[in-house]
């Protein structure tokens, strides 16, 4: 992977993705081999909106590499409150840290911020924009459970607003996949995303309003949360959300080796009775955030220290 | 100690308690011997209600063992806000951490959570339930200052609501002790606690409304805070709280080697003039949280890695 | 430096300052030499008012020395909320940490707190009082860019309320300097500060309402923020603040090697077009917080462990 920053999964070629997933698999197999690998490195966390899960996962990944983490904390108590620009915030903090993780509510902010810093910057979500490390851990989980080629995947729930879903669908076009999108009409994939996916090479795209037709053919079912706040009417929400929830009965027609995924947190989308079946891969999926983010940090910190060395040779 | 989790001090036998206290004493005598002992371990802190003191103490203990700490942060910014269940939260975070510390406002939550995880879970307070690490540091402080056998202890203040007090009283029944409970009538020990204590072996239980009668016989006086919010009437609070505060004058009839303890924070229960006397053991008591929690973490992480190894041998 | 605590820059002699700056320069030149130097030490952060920047800088410094950091967190969730005194808080936390950093809104609080603890205490700001580590990083930045002797410096903006400015001005009287103070009349240096500065040895003091007269003579221009909340009238603020902002045009008459500094965060005081010129030293200045705080922590932790050893020899 020859990048300084990780902003979007669109920047990643099939080879880049495989480099990260292979490294993650190596680390997963023997974490102790990298336990002191970045012992003198510091990772800076800049979260301009709350996201405990992603933050803890990055923090754990860095510490499992032997490194340290510093956290800007909530924006309530930060210089941002005093009117500091994002450009200034990242230029100050790059003096503290060897890499930065940025989450920001504004789309495009990660790209902008990356232009002001020399240390690697990882986008951990920029509004309706991208969240590439979630995509990579999703791909890793799919690869481990079903393989990434000759894959039939169903992606169900809120396909309109879910940036997780758009990033994943886009990344899967690097592989030989059949993608089925299952949602109520009001939460379908945006037309420009469908258009974009059709432009890519290896993927077939189908849209459905019901899971029934496609379930028996699926290797993977990726469920997302339908958010209450998308619906002006509570009854309407209850009725629609109910149709896109799964339980043991729903899965009767599924293949025995169907893998069920969910980015978590879930509310009612997946009944707890599924947790103990072999279908359930969502906790494993969350746990995969650690080796995948370790792999990414390892690669980017390594690239960067190579770059530093090259710089010194030139002088 | 053959436990995977630490949920309540009631689960601890006399031998268990002595194992922890002996290990704490060893660590206290030579902390440098364990300074890198758990260098590649991560402790996860899940505090569903604020408790800076307990959190800092666990964090320090883990870092003094060479380990790392990750913190879920406030629930305001967490997945819990989105409706995640406690069972899901602990199942996700056990993928990040080698042990978990849980504080939760709901009684019984620690027991429930422990059923969902394989890593050791330590209860740091579950509502009106238990807080076993506080009890262990109290026992350690008593043992260091007065010994745990042939002990006469007075426990004074709010005995009705204080879970600290109930846990300690219960744990002391493992030893040869005389326990005097001193409180206003409205804040007496609950009858079921008294009943429970009487069922145990080695302890004598007496209740008093005034400290005067028993003070001269005490080895240890354990003072707790009477909380303003327990009283509908401010004057009533002032009058009653005043009677259960101690100063140099109060202690005139005490033995020279009386040890005064308090779980802290204190407000007016102990006059600052006592701080510089040999009676005062409350700061030492707070500091003892470090070796005691180090000992516990050491034992539970050790048990767990033994369990992992045994598991592997079986396969 | 023979001090146990760092409370105010007034306690520092010229020799003390040079000891810290020399150590910082050594660390800056080869940070890897100290990367594990305080591997078994813990730094406690007690921030009674928010200050992300200073907190992150101390945290980074400690971690770059190989050490660990524990954080009291916000006072909202702490024992302080329950009515604990500052004296009790520091006495408890000194049992957890090898050194403490305190920020508190009340002037004099750092001095008071330091009287209750044996571990080194560093003042990170006590209300309108002192903020000595900011002063030391300012001095370090001036020394690196312009030298501290035979220096002509302009200090501009809010000179009435800015504790940063008072501390810096005072510390500079240890060196052979000419200090020009540029501000609107309503935000001039307090008369007692001017008097104090005049009492010191090596410095010349001049006050101005406009930058124009002195700009061509300056080696360093130190800009501070004029805060909106100081002015009852928004128009008045806009008019005055506008006169003390600098851009490329303002700097036309400046020397080519003029160094522009700012404690950050900035709002509109320095136009972004200056960022890419050789004048701009404010990001470097923020980054200098790391080696300077590393040097301070190193010296104070070292002093303290010497003191411990001496103590033991005496017994």
Q: Which residues of C are annotated as a binding site for carbamoyl phosphate?
A: 53-54, 103, 131, 134, 264-265
In the set C23, C38, C103, C166, the catalytic residue is: C103
Distance from CA of A248 to the nearest CA of B (A): 18
Band (pLDDT 50/70/90 cuts) for residue B307 is low
Torsion over CA: A259, A263, A269, A270 (sign): positive
Counting one residue from chain A and one from chain C, the pairs whose CB atoms sit within 8 A come to 60
Candidates C14, C53, C106, C287; catalytic one: C53
Which chain B residue has the Cα nearest residue C87? B272
Which residues lie closer than 8 Å to A208 by C-beta, 6 or more apart? A180, A181, A182, A214
- Residue B311 pLDDT > 50: no
Confidence (pLDDT) at A219: 98
The predicted-structure confidence for B206-258, as pLDDT tens digits, reads as follows 999 999 999 999 999 999 998 887 788 888 888 888 889 999 999 999 999 99
Question: May I ask the CATH architecture of the domain A133-287?
Answer: 3-Layer(aba) Sandwich (3.40)
Triad A153, A157, A158: Cα angle to 5°: 120
**Contact between chains at C72 and B51 (C-beta distance less than 8 A):** no
Sheet of C99-104, strand order:
C68-71, C42-47, C99-104, C121-126
Q: Cα B16 to chain center, whole Å?
A: 15
Residue A312's pLDDT band (cuts 50, 70, 90): very low
Where does chain A hold its CATH 3.40.50.1370 domain(s)? 9-131+288-309, 133-287
pLDDT tens, residue by residue, C31-63: 999 999 999 999 999 999 888 889 999 999 999
Residue, of B138 and B235, whose pLDDT is higher: B138
Comparing CB atoms, the residue among A50, A283, A290 nearest residue B77 is A50
Q: What integer best gives the mean pLDDT of chain B?
A: 91
In chain C, residues with a C-beta closer than 8 Å to the C-beta of B241 are none
Chain C residues contacting A via beta carbons under 8 Å: 32, 35, 50-53, 55-57, 59-60, 63-64, 74, 264-267, 272, 283-284, 286-287, 290
What is the torsional sign of CA B184, B189, B192, B198? Answer: negative
As annotated, the residues of chain C forming the CATH 3.40.50.1370 domain(s) are 9-131+289-307, 133-287
Residue in chain A lying closest to B94 (CA): A287
Q: Residue A119: what pLDDT? A: 96
- Among all residues of chain A, which has the CA nearest to that of C227? A82
CATH 3.30.390.50 fits C9-131+289-307, yes or no: no
pLDDT value for B308 = 57
SS3 C208: strand
Contacts of C272 in chain A (CB under 8 A): 87
Q: Which of these CATH numbers, 3.40.50.1370, 3.40.50.10470, 3.30.43.10, 3.40.50.1980, describes B9-130+288-308?
A: 3.40.50.1370
A82 appears as a binding residue in the annotation = yes
| A30, A155, A164, B62 from A224: Cα distances, Å | 31, 8, 9, 36
What's the residue count for chain B?
315
**Chain B residues within an 8 Å CB radius of C83:** 265, 267
From first CA to last CA, the distance across chain B in angstroms is 25
Q: Report the sign of the C-alpha dihedral through residues B20, B25, B26, B28, in that order.
A: positive
Residue A310 pLDDT = 46
* SS3 state at C91: helix
CB C274 within 8 A of CB C260: yes
**Which of A280-284, B4-8, B188-192, C125-129 bottoms out in mean pLDDT, i.e. has the lowest?**
C125-129
User: What CATH number belongs to A9-131+288-309?
Assistant: 3.40.50.1370
Residues 6+ apart with CB under 8 A from B272: C87
| Structure confidence at residue B273 as a pLDDT band (50, 70, 90) | very high
C38 is a catalytic site residue: no
Higher local confidence (pLDDT), A309 or A305: A305
Residue range(s) occupied by CATH 3.40.50.1370 in chain B: 9-130+288-308, 133-287
Positions in chain C short of pLDDT 70? 1-2, 75-79, 306-315
Q: What pLDDT, on the 0 to 100 scale, is given for residue C2?
A: 60
Q: Do A286 and B92 touch (CB under 8 A)?
A: yes
Question: What pLDDT score was predicted for residue A252?
Answer: 96
| Confidence check: pLDDT of B310 > 50 | no
């Amino acid at each position: 992977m020859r990048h300084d920053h990780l902003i979007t999964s669109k920047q990643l070629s099939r080879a880049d993705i495989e480099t990260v997933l292979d490294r993650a698999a190596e680390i997963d197999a023997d974490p102790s081999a990298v336990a002191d690998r970045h012992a003198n490195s510091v990772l800076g966390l800049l979260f301009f909106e709350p996201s405990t899960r992603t933050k803890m996962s990055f923090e754990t990944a860095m510490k499992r590499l032997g490194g340290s983490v510093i956290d800007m904390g909530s924006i309530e108590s930060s210089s941002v409150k005093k009117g500091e620009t994002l450009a200034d915030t990242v230029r100050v903090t790059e003096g503290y840290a060897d890499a930065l993780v940025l989450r920001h509510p504004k789309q495009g902010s990660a790209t902008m911020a990356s232009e002001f810093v020399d240390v690697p910057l990882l986008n951990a979500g920029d509004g309706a924009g991208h969240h590439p490390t979630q995509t990579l851990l999703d791909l890793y989980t799919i690869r481990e459970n079903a393989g990434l080629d000759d894959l039939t995947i169903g992606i169900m729930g809120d396909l309109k607003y879910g940036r997780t879903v758009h990033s994943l669908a886009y990344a899967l076009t690097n592989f030989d996949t059949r993608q089925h999108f299952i949602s109520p009409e009001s939460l379908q994939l945006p037309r420009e995303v469908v258009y974009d996916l059709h432009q890519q090479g290896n993927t077939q795209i189908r849209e459905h309003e019901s899971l029934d037709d496609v379930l028996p053919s699926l290797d993977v079912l990726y469920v997302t949360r339908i958010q209450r706040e998308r619906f002006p009417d509570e009854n309407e929400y209850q009725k629609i959300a109910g149709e896109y929830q799964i339980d043991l009965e729903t899965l009767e027609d599924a293949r025995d080796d169907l893998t069920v995924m969910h980015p978590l947190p879930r509310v009612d989308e997946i009944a707890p009775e599924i947790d103990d079946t072999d279908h359930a891969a969502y906790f494993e999926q969350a746990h995969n955030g650690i080796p995948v983010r370790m792999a990414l940090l390892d690669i980017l910190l390594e690239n960067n220290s190579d770059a530093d060395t090259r710089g010194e040779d030139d002088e």
